[in-house]
A and B are shown apart, each in its own frame.
Chain A
């Protein structure tokens, strides 16, 4: 394993007598985007605030690239999209991005070029001479992501990057993250599990300030049993469960939501279970909307045994 980019040891943070973070320990290596999930008040923003150096932990240690948060060695190496942070309404977007670039040690011509590059990365070159007050919520979010991309940092912390955005802007943000993730490790805090499922190979689950689990996507590939999630058009649930259960290798079929079925099977007995299920659907003249390997993130995090 490569050396960790983030190390948290026995991290505690107390807000007015309550643990916002309670003995959080983890290490993260550079790589694919990492999701940070948990209910409201679970401590996600607090954790990101501590990693960013905006908050001081009550106790415990945090290291980013082997430096404490806020260290000057982290300039241009770590960046973030803080939740609800807005640019200064008095200056144009370009002026502020150039200023941030210059603070990162770029010369004025370099900072101008960098401001253009990051605005191009978020498809907003045309608004560089606008002031933040004239932007829509989606545009403002993309500009805030643009500032995080200045200097091509190795680690970017995104706190609710798609909160309150329309589907088109959500897709744009997802594309930006996917495009940049080859050079940058993203840590994304979000309530949008479908979004995280698409983007992240690894998930951290925080509940009541306690790190509950680290879920790794690749573990599924080595598991003794696997899952297939099926979204059906209206189909008789009882009959679907009976017919699927009858297929060789199927261990269990559950129906957690209307028209959604999760098939647990033994890959050693039936490696091509997806084809078997489609055949079964075809023979019974049912219709399906979607078939995906594995459980949805929501199932994995909140409804697994």
Chain B
């Protein structure tokens, strides 16, 4: 009996989880991220939240937060989540560009993909790896969100009930935010020879795409529509929103991911291995 599409998708993504959490290289990345996150949690996040709690509606610090683009912090009922929201929207897409860079490239260069493709299809492999990397990032997002929740409860345990819906919406939005970046890395990984090349190309393509489209849109506002092609274009707007309002932009990352995955699948299908 031939294994079904979903069965193989599950097996391939499970193997990616093993790569992420049960290999020396994977564990090193996770531990490094954990240490960095610990310091973010301990200093910028806790410090800013403390300032906002002390501020207690006097607005004396908001001009500064407005100045650095964190003005919407005042809309978050739990300040820690507001700060987490802003920081995570920057960190996780950046993390995605490195963490998701090696979806297929080094296995292709080493020839390991050939062993797998005798037992699976290119589509199953491509989507299986993508799902695996997305699950790893989802787990990291959940871990950071829970650590922030612990910080909130340490300050005031009575906030637990009101914190949960906020936590859910932030987690959901962050997963959506990394989705197009992971899809972009899947497409790039199917093209280039190493994870490092994939990361460099991602930075270059993203910078030029953002620069060129924004430049054209400045002179010809009708072209603003093409801004939707830039992964993460909604992030700046998202930082100005709070609570369930943030999901009103969910169509952008979903659309981008769909297009980028279609491109990546097309590259993978035509690739000589």
Residue ranges of A at the interface with B (Cβ–Cβ < 8 Å)? 49, 52-56, 70, 72-73, 75-76, 78-80, 82, 84-88, 90-91, 95-96, 99-100, 102-105, 144, 147
Contacts and interface: CB of A to CB of B under 8 A. Distances in A.
Interface residues of B, number: 29
Interface string B1-31: 1110000100110010011000111100000
B111 A103 contact: no
B24 A100 contact: no
The 10 closest A-B pairs by CB, nearest first: A85-B111, A103-B119, A54-B273, A90-B23, A82-B114, A105-B3, A85-B114, A72-B2, A88-B112, A55-B272
Contacts of A103: 3, 8, 11-12, 116, 119-120
Contacts of A87: 112, 115
B48 to A, nearest CB: 38
A84 B2 contact: no
Interface of B: 1-3, 8, 11-12, 15, 18-19, 23-26, 107, 110-112, 114-122, 270, 272-273
A73 to B, nearest CB: 7
Contact of B111 (A76, A82, A105): A82
A90 B110 contact: no
A76 B1 CA distance: 10
Contacts of A102: 11
Contacts, number: 77
Given A55-B273, A82-B114, A103-B8, A88 B107 contact: yes
7 contacts: A75-B118, A85-B112, A86-B112, A88-B107, A91-B23, A100-B119, A105-B1
Nearest to B106: A88
Contact of A104 (B19, B114, B119): B119
A100 B273 contact: no
Contact of B118 (A56, A80, A88, A90): A80
Contacts of B110: 85-86, 88
B2 A73 contact: yes
A95 B22 CA distance: 12
Contacts of A99: 11, 15
A79 B114 CA distance: 10
Contacts of A90: 19, 23-26
B121 A72 contact: yes
Nearest to A99: B15
B103 to A, nearest CB: 13
